[in-house]
Amino acid sequence: MIGLALAFGGYYVSTKVPIGFQETLQHQGIPLDIGKTIAMIGMFLLLFPVLNYFYFRPLGEAISNRTSELERTFTEAEELRQRMEEMRTEYEGRLAAAEAQAREQIQAQIREAQDLRDQLRAEAVQQAEELKKRALEDIEREKDKIVGDLRLHVVNLTLQATERLVGENVDDAKNRKLVEEFIEKVEVPG
């Protein structure tokens, strides 16, 4: 209402009311028309609600929406950054755990290999001892057998020699026993 009154009032003043100092200003090179100025102010007051409704309010809402959208985008970006940081930390933790587990498995395999090596070495030493023991027993048996065979051969040779010396057959069991007893007494311990 005020704007309409100012617009019409200014137009009326500009066209119907002569103002003296306007002419003085016009001669000095300043073209100022008070009526037109008041009319323009009135027109601005008339157009301001229209501009506000069709331009400023939608512009303000658009700016507000854009600001909200930017804040939401920045918030989402910050949340994503934090989530990525958490994921990176979690990944590094899992990677460290996997490395630790791999190291532990390698150490376990090394210990297992060392235990197996020690076990095989102990078994080899035991088998070597058993083989040595059997070999010594075999040697002892063979020695006893050879000594027995040698004794028998010596007894037979002695009897044959005695037979030739005496000229008769000395092959009876009593003579053989006497020769064996003599050889046992004379025998040097091995």
Q: Is the pLDDT of residue 105 over 80?
A: yes
For residues 141 and 50, the model is more confident at: 141
In our burial notation (b when 16+ CB lie closer than 10 A, e otherwise), range 11-50 reads bebbeeeeeeebeeeeeeeeeebebeebbeebbebbeeee
* Domain extent listing, the chain: 135-186
pLDDT of residue 31: 65
pLDDT of residue 52: 84
Structure tokens at 8: 């019409």
Give this prediction's pTM.
Answer: 0.38
Mean pLDDT of the chain: 81
For residues 18 and 146, the model is more confident at: 146
**Contacts of 183 by beta carbon, 8 Å cutoff, 6+ apart:** 151, 154, 155, 158
Could you give the percent of the chain with pLDDT greater than 90? 44
How many Å apart are CA 16 and CA 38, to the nearest integer? Answer: 14
pLDDT digits (tens, 9 = 90+) for 27-47: 666 665 666 676 777 777 777
How many Å apart are CA 111 and CA 119, to the nearest integer? Answer: 12
